Amino acid sequence: MHDLVIRNGLVVDGTGADPRPNCSIAIDGEVVTAIGADGEIGPGRREIDATGLLVTPGFVDIHTHYDGQATWDGDLEPSTPHGVTTVVMGNCGVGFAPAKPDEHDFLIELMEGVEDIPGAALSEGISWNWESFPEYLDELDRGAYTADVAAMIAHGPLRAYVMGKRGADNEPATSDDIAEMAQLVQDAVEAGAMGFSTSRTIGHRAMNGEPVPGTFAAEDELFTIGRALTRAGRGVFEVAPAGLAGEDLVAPKKEVDWICRLADEIGRPVTWLMLQNMVEPDEWRELMERSQQAQDEGHRVVPQVAGRPFGILIGLSTRHRFKDMPSFAPLRGLSFAEQAEAMGDPALKARLIQESTDVMESIREIEPMAYQVVNSYERQYLLGDPVDYEPTSDRSIAACAEANGVRPIEELYERLRDRNGEALMMMPFLGYAHGNGDALHEMLTHPAAVLGLADGGAHANFICDASTPTWMLTHWVRDRTRGPRLPLADVVKKMTADTAALFDLTDRGVLAVGKRADVNVIDHENLLLREPRLVADLPAGGTRLLQAAEGYVATIVRGIVTREHDKFTGERPGRLVRS
């Protein structure tokens, strides 16, 4: 009698092998103990009938920002409703350890500025029962979660801890500073950190406008810290490179050059974030090939690519151009449905459009980039419900305005009112330069790349890309019509075995006897990804976007069902994973 049997499903095991129909899986304790034809598997104390359903390993998300949230919230939304059973946090050079008591506010403002996580929620929610990074891991170890959590030590808090204000202000590090930082990284990895992360992206700024500590770090600092991973014998070096912020392009070819040299020297995996930019929209191919060349030479240089475009969502519930106008002030305390109804008044509409136009004209010369972004109606698309992150040009606000015989600003105004004020529009900044997903398709199919950049827990009021696993299974595998789709087995492998392997998580990522019993049972034929919705469920009343999926019959972590029919069961078997 097995503890749990998943019976008669279409098993896609994460290795890239062909799907196995009419296959059953037995689980005992935390591990898979048998896989075979239905008649070969004995009974279970509990059984899940997977007839007509897809069975996969749990998804391993390597790019999240739950560093603070994990200290107060065991559900780890918005990632876990989308089949994610392991999250890696501490990305992009921001985090909350190590931290001296007088640095807490600085680190909160840094995370709020870079990752758009409400500072008030972090201030009220974080426990701060630590100073060193090993103590932070111990705090996480005391938690219980709906998914396993793992963490990297980040350059921002590390620099501030060692160098104080000099580090926060991005002053050059002395040799003693660098030696101390490297030792703390080694100590962190030996205590269980999954590696080290840094950001060189100019657009990553704290609330005071200052770049993340480490943005301008010299090679000596970066390479010395990298060698700490060599001494520890494990860990990944993660880089948010310069040039990632679209028009703020800063020599990404040079970035990839030092990344490849670093991987060569330290003998550890180096993963860097790669997105198509608007300035040189085809340059990513050269950078990808440089990474492939490094891999062919035996170095683990792994670009992290996204499953859909990166940008912002525009709506009454998020951000829109009328929100700060004087005539909108009386509406701010209303529900979104009430705002939408009030905006139906023609006189109010005329005032808001005029006020917004006047403001944008006033900044046209002094902030041309902001002016261009706000008025780029050809790059603002209706998102819809179910959502479409690869919209055609006829779904742009500009095209809809032309079809309806109105000005684009009028079309935008009316679309904000759709669906009782909860409709959203997508404006991509990265990954959609040519108005289609062809570049994303090429990146996702390139053997050098790994899937990442879902940013779970971050950008709480702008995007909700933590739902990327569901988008991969719906759009890329099943629904895409604008170009080739991706094979089901390949997509599952990208979200399981490939991401687990990058961080040496050898006990998960595939369905095999002896491996961790992290499993998804999915009604793939009817799987849906709904439109994001704003909720105010963070500490101190903080808001965030959550995005529901329909079709996850069961998600299992360590042999325990944590979600069933798209709802939490209340079980939290997830724990800290140490390197």
pLDDT attached to residue 53:
98
Judged against a pLDDT cut of 80, whether residue 430 lies above it is answered with yes
Q: Please, which pLDDT band fits residue 221 given cuts at 50, 70 and 90? A: very high
For residue 454, give every residue at least 6 positions away whose Cβ sits within 8 Å of its Cβ, in sequence order, or none: 61, 63, 64, 79, 306, 307, 465, 466, 467, 468, 469
Average pLDDT, integer, range 325-351: 98
Cα–Cα distances in angstroms (integers) from residue 82 to residues 11, 199, 213, 490, 506, in the given order: 18, 27, 33, 18, 22
**What's phi and psi for 485, nearest 5 deg?**
-90, 180
Give me the percent of the chain exceeding a pLDDT of 90. 94
Q: What is the sign, positive or negative, of the torsion defined by CA atoms of 87, 207, 221, 286?
A: positive
Average pLDDT, integer, range 176-187: 98
Judged against a pLDDT cut of 70, whether residue 487 lies above it is answered with yes
**What's phi and psi for 425, nearest 5 deg?**
-120, 150
Q: Please, which pLDDT band fits residue 244 given cuts at 50, 70 and 90? A: low
β-strand partners of 9: 23
β-strand partners of 311: 428
Question: What confidence tens digit (pLDDT) does each residue in 59-118 have?
Answer: 999 999 999 999 999 999 999 999 999 999 999 999 999 999 999 999 999 999 999 999
Judged against a pLDDT cut of 50, whether residue 248 lies above it is answered with no
Give first-to-last CA distance, the chain, whole Å: 34
Rounded CA separation 446/441 (Å):
9
Give CA angle at 358 (352, 362), nearest 5°: 145
Rounded to the nearest 5 percent, the helix, strand and coil shares of the chain are 40, 20, 40
For residue 492, give every residue at least 6 positions away whose Cβ sits within 8 Å of its Cβ, in sequence order, or none: 12, 14, 56, 57
Rounded CA separation 318/313 (Å):
7
**What's phi and psi for 251, nearest 5 deg?**
40, 60
Cα–Cα distances in angstroms (integers) from residue 247 to residues 302, 368, 560, in the given order: 24, 12, 46
The residue with greater pLDDT, 248 or 160, is 160
Q: Which of 482, 330, 471 is nearest to 391 (CA)?
A: 482
Q: Please, which pLDDT band fits residue 277 given cuts at 50, 70 and 90? A: confident
Residue 385 tokens, joined: 């419900």
Helices and strands (DSSP H and E) totals, the chain: 19, 25
The alpha-carbon radius of gyration of the chain (Å, integer) is 24
pLDDT attached to residue 247:
44
Judged against a pLDDT cut of 50, whether residue 180 lies above it is answered with yes
Cα–Cα distances in angstroms (integers) from residue 5 to residues 33, 36, 43, 531, 564, in the given order: 10, 11, 7, 33, 15
Judged against a pLDDT cut of 80, whether residue 15 lies above it is answered with yes
pLDDT attached to residue 501:
98
pLDDT attached to residue 251:
57
For residue 463, give every residue at least 6 positions away whose Cβ sits within 8 Å of its Cβ, in sequence order, or none: 310, 311, 312, 313, 455, 532, 545
Q: What is the mean pLDDT of the chain?
A: 96
pLDDT attached to residue 246:
44
Rounded CA separation 520/470 (Å):
12
Question: What confidence tens digit (pLDDT) does each residue in 227-238 have?
Answer: 999 999 999 999
Question: What confidence tens digit (pLDDT) does each residue in 124-161 have?
Answer: 999 999 999 999 999 999 999 999 999 999 999 999 99
Q: Which domains does the chain show, CATH number per domain?
A: 2-57+517-568 (2.30.40.10), 60-309+431-502 (3.20.20.140), 313-430 (no CATH)
Question: What's the pTM?
Answer: 0.96
Among the ranges given (237-241, 245-249, 489-493), the one the predictor scored with the smallest mean pLDDT: 245-249
Average pLDDT, integer, range 529-540: 97
